[in-house]
Amino acid sequence: MKLGTLTGGTETQNVTGFAIDHRKVAPGTVFGAFEGARVNGEDFIPQAIASGAIAVVARPEAVVEGAVHIAQDSPRACFAEMAARFFAPFPPVTAAVTGTNGKTSTVELTRQLWRMAGHHAASIGTLGVTTADERVTTGLTTPDVVTFLSNVAGLAREGVTHLAFEASSHGLSQYRTEGLPVRAAAFTNLSRDHLDYHKDMAEYFTAKLRLFAEVLADDGTAVVWVDDPHADRVLDLARHRGNRLITVGEHGDTLRLVGRDPTLLGQGLTIEADGAIHKVNLPLIGAYQAANALVAAGLVIATGGAVAPTLQALARLQPVRGRLERAAIARSGAPVYVDYAHTPDALEAAIAALKPHAAGKLIVVFGAGGDRDPGKRELMGQVAAARADVAIVTDDNPRTEDAASIRREVLKGAPGATEIGDRRAAIAAAIAQAGEADIVLIAGKGHEQGQIVGDMVLPFDDVSVARECAA
């Protein structure tokens, strides 16, 4: 493909690929040089050109010698648009999900519902690239734009027609998911997270709103969980743009949650839609899992699914890895659940989901990650102290911070909690003290297969450790 085809100009150089890492540049590559939080890509322009970059997308003031300088005030956006033209075509039906909690579950549940409707579907997010028969881990909620678009184009070549993906605040603010025909976009909820990256909650929310303000197609559909206090902003945006609206929740107009009755292994849902009442036995526990499932149903309906069959298909959904996943049964008979909850709101939601099922005590093992928003640590401690019967504070992913210092900050909110720094020992202690009527919740890492200590990733899987301790 000629460079001019991508820029709209007359350049005749052949483009062979795109890169934002100068170490991945090969002859014919278009290099994106962006200012980052820690590294300025403009510093590596000479190395990229030496490796064969034929063009550099960068700010007008960047110094580019020996290659075409595509000067843009918003180089990330320009680079993403060019890369999308290069990698296209993509699956014709794509849906994006944003929000603080529930993105991973919602995109995966959407994929499952599409598959049950007979579509060749896939999802991309924290769990990786998931299709009906394989999973490729990416390691990021939203990978870099080159990896993302390459993966999506690859899925299209494999015959995938329906794609659901997570749109994180980082990914939206850094234009990592541009160029796709986004037919439907969903908002789950908003609470404190990622304030190590965004300067405040307003900036964090603004980043998420980009999905509805700019990324969603003009004729696309916004699916909104309207029971969240921040939903009105999303609704206003969708109405301003003239998008179709699907509202979901207890106050929803499209899918109204009339009743929710916890059962031993799930919950019975009563949903009003199209003037009819639908009864569904959802095989997932917890109010927030019901919310994720209904938002997923909204996305399927937004992309052409019929209401009644979509709602009935909720009864056949499978649990999502690391999201209130029942990992083991202790010798006492106590079930042990693993959940990714790593924010105050998510931890509170996970505890609230399990509490009705615990005839005895709810024992919670949790911690907080290092090199992330420190303000949420004490808040997480407060949630555990107020909601759990037994709280055990342990290490999450300390990264480059001192693990003991992180635990001390968490313990400020839960002064009566037990402190066990070693995560395996903490899980073992929780399971050992659990009685027949108790439930154990291991929160914070969910599906993760490693624990980040310093610059090392040590093998650690909460599910596997829970099973070993239970045995």
Residue 141 sits in a domain whose CATH number is 3.40.1190.10
Specify whether 167 is located in the same domain as 229: yes
CATH number at residue 417: 3.90.190.20
Can you say whether residue 442 is alpha, beta or left, with left for phi > 0 and alpha for psi between -120 and 50 degrees? beta
Specify whether 63 is located in the same domain as 94: no
Residue set of the binding site for ATP:
99-105
- If one counts the domains in the chain, the total is 3
pLDDT of residue 313: 98
Domain-terminating residue out of 86, 110, 127: 86
Residue set of the binding site for meso-2,6-diaminopimelate:
372, 396-399, 444, 448
pLDDT of residue 69: 97
Specify whether 161 is located in the same domain as 182: yes
Specify whether 166 is located in the same domain as 280: yes
Specify whether 332 is located in the same domain as 309: no
Specify whether 389 is located in the same domain as 411: yes
pLDDT digits (tens, 9 = 90+) for 242-292: 999 999 999 999 999 999 998 767 899 999 999 999 999 999 988 889 999
Specify whether 243 is located in the same domain as 369: no
Residue set of the binding site:
99-105, 141-142, 168, 174, 176, 372, 396-399, 444, 448
CATH number at residue 29: 3.40.1390.10
- Point out the residues of the chain with pLDDT beneath 70: 37, 134-142, 192-199, 201, 264
| Rounded to 5°, angle at Cα 201 from 195 and 206 | 110
Specify whether 234 is located in the same domain as 335: no
Specify whether 418 is located in the same domain as 361: yes
Domain-terminating residue out of 286, 316, 346: 316
pLDDT of residue 197: 56
The rounded distance, in Å, linking the Cα atoms of 63 and 70 is 11
pLDDT of residue 198: 45
Phi, psi (degrees; rounded to nearest 5) at 411: -65, -20
Specify whether 200 is located in the same domain as 342: no
Write the CB contacts of 223 (distance below 8 Å, at least 6 apart in sequence). Answer: 184, 185, 186, 187, 246, 247, 248, 295, 298, 299, 302
pLDDT of residue 170: 77
Specify whether 378 is located in the same domain as 437: yes
pLDDT of residue 141: 53
Domain-terminating residue out of 60, 86, 112: 86
| Domain residue limits at 359 | 325-470
Specify whether 163 is located in the same domain as 18: no
Write the CB contacts of 87 (distance below 8 Å, at least 6 apart in sequence). Answer: 149, 150, 152, 153, 179
